[in-house]
Every structure is written in structure tokens, then in C-alpha cells.
Structure 1
Amino acid sequence: MKIIADENMPYVEQVFADIGEVSLVNGRQLSAEQLEGADVLLVRSVTQVNAQLLAHNDSLKFVGSATIGTDHIDAQLLAQKGIPFSNAPGCNAIAVGEYAFIAMLELAAMTGSSLKQRTVGIVGAGNTGSQVARCLEAYGVKTLLCDPVQAASGDSREFHTLDELIASCDVISLHVPLTKGGIEPTWYLLDEARLSALKPDAWLLNCCRGEVIDNRALFRVKQQRADLKLVLDVWEGEPNPMPELVPLVDIATPHIAGYSLEGKARGTTMLHSALSQVLNIEPENKLDGLLPVHVFSRIKLENQPDEGALLQLCRLIYDLRDDDRKFRANYALAGGFDQLRKNHTHRREFSALALVKGSGFEVDWLTKLGFSGASL
């Protein structure tokens, strides 16, 4: 089988070698001509799978996207053509949750405050939002949820409206899909009015889609509100962020919140399992053995870590400041945004680090946070 895959999909050649020959392509520049004769197409969010892309192909048997979101996929077209489609919901949820949690710890350090003293509003309580909540609740931070879709589906958790969160929360963290219809469209969900209504000294994080925030409105509000702290991993107009907005953002990264090695490998192997089902072959567990041992694989704790020590532990796994520096130095260069994403191969999840504790204190909360071995 001829498999066309995004070159930034890690482990794709190893994982799919048993099914067919894998050809790697630039996902953002993939053309209809390149797709001609392909049996399988494996993409990420930068590839628009639409009639134009499929114009010269009549052989596709499967399309897979190693992403949570599907706004780049013309699902109706694929259904009309009888082409099975699968995405990878939840593959990078842990990574996004940990990114948001680490970013909040970094903001607390920047501002000389404590994350535990803040109330965090999580907008979007699906896979990624739930992982953010898990991290915060493990650390003892009060969280409030907003998700009209989950609430309407009968989810038993307590939900609040977005405006209630804006009025009562010190931190707003966004984890919604990009939609223009439905119960509550998320395109420009945070417009100028809502941005202006954020509490004094509020923190705003966006780790979902850039257009969930009106970036021009954000620029205007931020110019008037130096008290607001911003973490943007996603940007309106990617891969070309609004250049005048970037200097006003406190932590800026190139859409890599979900880019842990674990999350990437998870997404690739989920697509392998889905394709195996379509082809009616026995799926294999491909995840074991793919990931390297982390350079810091085991740390002994002699005392209960305070917030500063917790941030140091997190930085051993992922130092968010490095990506912020690289972003600011390279995002405006030709192809810089995509190169930062392509070359992002160092990020790990908390589970890569095993913690061993001394006697006389409890660290079960670190296990709940995601670190390995914390109860030993």
C-alpha cells in the first residue's frame, strides 16, 4: 500500500512499515498531485483535506489525522466518497494539560504569587480540559468548568457559563474545538467585550485554536491592561502570528502544547490501530519500546516540595522558557513557525520521571499529577 504521511508525524515510518511503504511530505504544502495513487493519507492539523486535495485521487482507502480537532477535514466529502476517517481524540490531552499547568506555575513565579491562591476557569471540559483540571485538582487548586456541550450531554460535573467564569476566576484556560455553529460557537468566543471583562491581574491561556480569541481585540485590550498575563500557544492566522501582539504575550509558543513525545507516539499508534480495523488485520501494540529513557529518569525527594521545588521538577521534564525564547527569536523568519514545530522533539510528560520519596511526608498528589513512582 502507498501511504502518504506528514513528515512531522513521529515514528510513522516504524509504526506503519508492516502495512505499506511510507512517503513523507510537507503537510502544509501537500498537493493533489502528490496524493495521486495513494491508498492511505495520514495528516495533522496543518493539512486541509478537501475536494481540492483529493482531486486526482480515486484510490484512498483511509484518511487519518493524528489530532484531536477535525476542523481541517471535510468529513462530509470523505463520507460521500466512502473513505473511512479516524482522528486521535485524547492522544495529546495529557501533554496539553501538563503544558497549561506548567505555564501557570511559570506565571506564578514571574508574578511572585502562588497558583494555589487562584481560581482557574477551564473553558472546554473534554479530553484536554479534563487533564488540565486533573493537574490542578491534584495540586489543590480550585477549578470551575464551562462546557455547554458536555452539560447538554448529561455530564454530571458542575458547569458554569463562560461569563460566570470571567467574573469569578483569576485564570481562564481555553480548551475548546473551533466551531462556527452549534450550542455556543467558539470562533471569537473571547471577543473584545469578554476580554475587557477579565478580572484585574487575570491570566489568560489559549492552548486550543487561535481564532477562539479575537487577536486584534486582544492586542487592543492588552495595550490598555498591563495587568493581564497571557499564554498563547495558538495564534490567529497561523503560521503567521500577529507580530505586534507577540511582544505583549508573557509566554509564547508555536502551537506545541500537545507536542510531547508520548502524545505524538500515542496519536500515530491510534491511527495504526484504526487502519488495522479498516483493513481487518490484527492491530499490534506499537507504543511500547518507541520512547527513549529520559535523561532524568529517577529523582529522590528528601522533603515535601513547595511550589518553587515543584516548578523545578517540572522544568526537568519540560522547560517552557526554552520554547518561549526560541519562538520569539524565530517566529518572524520565513518558515520559522513551522520549523519550530518540526524540530520540536525534546518534550516529555511527567510520567517519564520517577520520584522516590524519603520518610516522614506524603507525595501521593505527585502521583495524581502524573509523575511515576511518587508513592514509593
Structure 2
Amino acid sequence: MKERVLQNGRLLPALEAALAQRYDLHPLWQERDPQAFLARHGADFRGYIASARYGADAAMIRALPNLRVISVNGVGLDAVDLAAARARGIAVGYTPDVLNDCVADTALLLLLDVARGGSAADRFVRRGDWARGGQFPLGSSVHGKRVGILGLGRIGRAIARRAQGFDMEVRYHNRRPVADVPYGYEATLHALASWADFLVIASAGGPPTRHLVAEAILDALGPQGFLVNIARGSVVDEQALLAALQQGRIAGAGLDVYEDEPAVTPGLLALDNVVLLPHIASATHETRQAMADLSLGNLDAFFATGAVQVSAL
């Protein structure tokens, strides 16, 4: 008999097909009343899979009394109640490393775009402003500039390596220094922002980092500084960011993530010095397939051996 697995939210079609072949898969997102369904059938499921966006909060974990394994199709764990899972002895698998390169590539894409005005220049040409004799404003060179990275984990290190390809000086801020890297360490985020020309957020999300980047940090970054966020929207106080951009207290921002996705603070949409992406940092065929393979592998490994391939606990 196939193990019953609950799917929360859509996943890559190839992953959904593979899951349906191996397991008795139920798509919760198709239920008209998910809460009523869980009340009736929550005890039927030993496996659970979802994207990092949906995760598995305490209420979901309580609704699945026989749950044994959670597979998160993503690297962000702020939507997963790890303490609740640990207390119940539930294994939690996720997909780190396989998306590092694409997310780091996106950080550099945003950094270059907002500094040089790439997206704004594209709009300038399409509006016909160039053909009418308009002069697009000068951008900022990134060569030799200073990039500060908030969160020097796997993705932060990949960003640092790419920045060095542009001869950028790299410093970082973590809760504590990292022993095996050549980059300078700043003991506070404020000090890092004061030093940097570009502040790139690559930290975890969740309550500990909520609004870590707010007015004081943006003011430290200054009117020539740029903010790039490929981590979690919750790390940035979006209203404070909007005010800083509108008032010229920072030079620009490149964002792939937002506080209330898919909603974006309306004022950001009107600014030419902001590059807005729809949370696509890991959205390549190659990376999403690798994530799918590992998500499936975590479930398969647990039901075969009692342990996931890559554990978040």
C-alpha cells in the first residue's frame, strides 16, 4: 500500500507527477475547505510536502497527528515550525545547496541592473524617449566598489565569489565571524551598511530577522548606496525602504522578495531606481529540477530508511 502524502500548494509539474506515481498523493490546494478536510482526514497522512512559501506551521502540524516527515521544496524554513516538528519527532527535509548558484546569480543581476539602470533604460527605449532625443542618466559603476553581505551562509559565499569577479571588496555581517573565509567581518549590521556601497541581504527569514533592515540601516547605507534583497521580504521594513527611496536617502534597490508576496508596496512600482522581480531567484529549469529531485529524494529516503537525505533539524 502506498504511503499517503499531503501536498500543500502547487509544485513543479514533473515533481507532482513523480509524487503521484510513488505515493497516494492528495493536493490540499484543490480542497474547497482545507480546514474541514484536515479535520476529517488529517490523521490519514504520514508524509507532507510543500514549497518554502507554504511550509508547515504549528497549526498544520497539529492537524496531522500521524505525520512523520515534512519535505520542503526550497531552502527557506521560516514558514516551518521546526520546534513543533522536533517536539513530535517529525523529520524535516529541505533543498539547500542546489539553488545557491542561481540565487547568487540573481543577486548580481539585481546589483548590476539597479546600479547601471538596465531595466529603467529598457523602459526608456520602449517609451520612445531615446528616439525623441532623450538622454538617459548616467549609472554607477560596480567595478572596485564595496559590497556588504548580510548572512554569509552558502548563498552569501556564492555572492561574495561573484562580486570578487568585478574586483569588489567584500565584507559581511553574521551573528559571529566565519572562520574559513578571506572577507572582512563587521560586528554590527549598522557598521556594514555604513561601509558598503551595496548591501546584499542573504540572511534567513523569520522573527529573529524581521525588519532588521529598517530606517537606521538604510540611513547608514546612505544616498549613494544600493540595497539588494534575494533572501526574505520580512528582513526589510518595506515602508521604511519606500520612504528612503522617495526621499533620496538611498540610491536604489533591487528586490526579488517582498513582505506580503505577491503584493508589492504600491509606491515601489512608480520608482525607476527600483528593480522588481517576482521571486524568481531559483527559477531556472536546472535548479527547479534539482530541487524537485531532492524534495522527492527526502521523502523516498525517509520511507525507506527513517531519515531524510538533507535534514533541517
Counterpart CA distance in 2 for 1:135 and 1:118 is 13
Deviations 1:151-199 (A, max 9, x none): 1x6445442232232122111110001243xxxx422111111112213
Correspondence 1:63-212 to 2 at 5 A:
63-110=70-117, 111-149=138-176, 151=177, 154-157=179-182, 158-161=184-187, 162-180=189-207, 185-212=208-235
Amino acid at match of 1:267: M
Out of 274, 280, 301, the residue aligned to residue 256 of structure 1 is: 280
SS of structure 2 residue aligned to 1:52: helix
Counterpart CA distance in 2 for 1:58 and 1:186 is 30
Question: How far has the Cα of 1:126 moved from its partner?
Answer: 0.5
Identify the residue that residue 46 of structure 1 maps to in structure 2. Answer: 53
Deviations 1:95-145 (A, max 9, x none): 110001112222343243322132211111101111111212234332222
Amino acid at match of 2:24: E
Q: What residue ranges of structure 1 are gaps of 5+ in the alignment? A: 286-376
Question: How far has the Cα of 1:30 moved from its partner?
Answer: 8.7
CA contact (8 A) 1:4 1:42 kept: yes
Counterpart CA distance in 1 for 2:62 and 2:248 is 48
Counterpart CA distance in 1 for 2:167 and 2:17 is 41
CA contact (8 A) 1:65 1:87 kept: yes
Counterpart CA distance in 1 for 2:239 and 2:306 is 50
Counterpart CA distance in 2 for 1:169 and 1:268 is 36
Deviations 1:14-60 (A, max 9, x none): 44355313344539x99342563223211112225234224443332
The 3 A distance-change label for structure 1 pair 227 and 124 is closer
Identify which of structures 1 and 2 has the higher relative contact order when contacts are C-alpha pairs closer than 8 Å and 6+ apart.
2
How many residue pairs get aligned? The number is 278
Counterpart CA distance in 2 for 1:276 and 1:171 is 42
Counterpart CA distance in 2 for 1:56 and 1:224 is 47
Identify the residue that residue 311 of structure 1 maps to in structure 2. Answer: none
Counterpart CA distance in 2 for 1:213 and 1:138 is 27
Aligned sequence identity (%): 23
Question: How far has the Cα of 1:10 moved from its partner?
Answer: 4.9
Q: What residue ranges of structure 2 are gaps of 5+ in the alignment? A: 118-137
Query: Normalising to structure 2: TM-score of the pair?
Result: 0.78
- Give the CA RMSD over aligned residues: 2.9
SS of structure 1 residue aligned to 2:101: helix
Counterpart CA distance in 2 for 1:30 and 1:81 is 26
Deviation larger for 272-281 or 77-86: 272-281
Identify the residue that residue 266 of structure 1 maps to in structure 2. Answer: 290
Deviations 1:234-263 (A, max 9, x none): 112223222223323520122222222222
CA contact (8 A) 1:108 1:115 kept: yes
The 3 A distance-change label for structure 1 pair 12 and 4 is farther
The 3 A distance-change label for structure 1 pair 63 and 30 is farther
The 3 A distance-change label for structure 1 pair 76 and 235 is same
Identify the residue that residue 278 of structure 1 maps to in structure 2. Answer: 302
Amino acid at match of 1:12: L
Identify the residue that residue 327 of structure 1 maps to in structure 2. Answer: none
Identify the residue that residue 11 of structure 1 maps to in structure 2. Answer: 14
SS of structure 1 residue aligned to 2:66: coil
Query: Normalising to structure 1: TM-score of the pair?
Result: 0.66
Question: How far has the Cα of 1:9 moved from its partner?
Answer: 3.6
Identify the residue that residue 21 of structure 1 maps to in structure 2. Answer: 24
